[in-house]
Amino acid sequence: MTTTPRTKAPHARSAGAKNRRRRSRTAAREMAGLWFVLPALVIYLMFFGLPFLATVGLSFTDWNGIGWPDFTGVANYVRLAVDGAMWSALTNNLIWVVLGTAVPVIVGLILAVMLWSDARGSVAYRTIFFLPVILSPVVIGVIWGWIYNPLFGLLNTGLREVGLGAWAMGWLGESETALYAVLLTAIWSYFGFCIVVLFAGLQKVNPELVEAARTDGASATQRFRHVIVPQIAPVLTMVIVYTVIGGFNAFDMVWVMTQGGPNNASEVIATYTYEVAFRGNDYGYGATLSMVMSVVALLAAWATMILRRRGA
């Protein structure tokens, strides 16, 4: 039989007490942190967690907004697979994400580098480029709607004035041009944000490295690609990710300018979901479409993390 010593040496007791006090203080600090986080956590769960779970649940029902929903299993997900309008909207979203990310980021990067290279009036240009960002998307949509207006719009009037009247058309009313006309407006309203953020990132570029590359005979393109871009990679990644996620959530500009028309030509997932759920009172299927948006957003977030790791 062995016995466990019931007493410890004085210095061991003292160290144990210190550890206990330290642990107690740490636990108290952690609890305090938890209390600080709790209000935000409750709000998050109430306004995001619970609605998200409710949406998941509704996606398995045929709820029409009235009464109690009936469970329909995976019927909505089967319907999703054969819903041509959904695939068309998703395709439009992909076009939106690709063009709506590539164009403003590339244009923004080029202009940011030009402004960074001690261009005269840099502050004025940055202000001008950033102005559309502070305008409401609704205001922008209405104004560009006037520009595209086939009766009195600036665009068609201008085309006619320069002898290109044959090109004049109802930009927002033709199925071939509606999506791109709205997308151009969105790009115009957004590229200023890219310029300002990338310009801020460029402030951390070491000019000595750029100068050294120039001394070594690197061309402007080589300096840009191999010296500048690697140094702003984290910022560039953040801008791309932010823009991609925004592209999947596109709604306001499309809704104001075309409401997804004509004949769904400019429909994106968010506008289609709204129409199905709130106009068609098909909340069950609307919830299923929301799940599509969530999955796509999760994939975009995952791609972001990969890009971040590579960019870091």
Partner 1 sequence: MRHFGNPALAGMLTLALTLAAPVAWAQDKVTLRVWDSFTENSDGMDAMIAAFEAANPTIDVERDVQATEDMRAIIQTALNSGTGPDVFQYDTGPGFAGVLAKAGLIKPLDDLYAGPLAKVLPWTKERVTFDGKTYGVGNQLEFIAVYYNKDLFAANNIAVPTTYAEFQAACTALKDAGITPIAFGNAAGWPAFHVFSAYANNMVPQDQLMAMIRGETSWDDPAVTSAIQAAFVDNEANGCFNASVNAVSYDDANALFAAGQSGMTITGGWMINGFKDNPFATGFFFLPAPDGMATMPPAGLGGGYFVNAATTQGEAANTFLAFLFDPANAALWVEGMSVIPSYSLEGAGVEVSPLLAEAAAALSAGAMGVNIDVLTPEAFNTVMLDGFQAVLGGDRTAAEQATALQASVAQ
Q: What letter represents residue 195's amino acid?
A: I
For residue 125, what are the contacts with CB-CB under 8 A and spacing of at least 6?
Answer: 111, 115, 119
Minimum CB distance to partner 1 smaller for 201 or for 267:
267
Smallest distance from the beta carbon of 288 to partner 1, in angstroms? 16
Binding mask 32-71 for partner 1 (x = CB under 8 A): ---------------------------------xxx----
Within 142-161, which residues bind partner 1 (CB under 8 A)?
A: 145, 148-152
Encoded one letter per residue, x for contact with partner 1 by CB under 8 A and - for no contact, window 273-292 reads --x--xxxx-----------
Contact call for residues 213 and 228 (beta carbons, < 8 A): no
* CB of 66 vs partner 1, minimal distance in Å: 4
Nearest partner of 155 among 142, 169, 174, judged by Cα: 169
Q: Could you tell me which of 281, 307, 277 has the C-alpha nearest to residue 293?
A: 277
Structure tokens at 52: 């998200």
Q: Which of 80, 91, 143, 174 binds partner 1 (CB under 8 A)?
A: 174
Single residue of 94, 114, 262, 294 touching partner 1 by CB under 8 A: 262
Q: Mention every residue, 6+ apart, whose C-beta is less than 8 A from residue 258.
A: 172, 178, 182, 265, 266
Is 219 a binding residue for partner 1 by CB under 8 A? The answer is no
Residue from 263, 298, 299, 306 binding partner 1 (CB under 8 A)? 263
Please say whether the beta carbons of 273 and 289 come within 8 A: yes
State the residues that interact with partner 1 by CB under 8 A: 65-67, 145, 148-152, 169-175, 258-259, 261-264, 275, 278-281
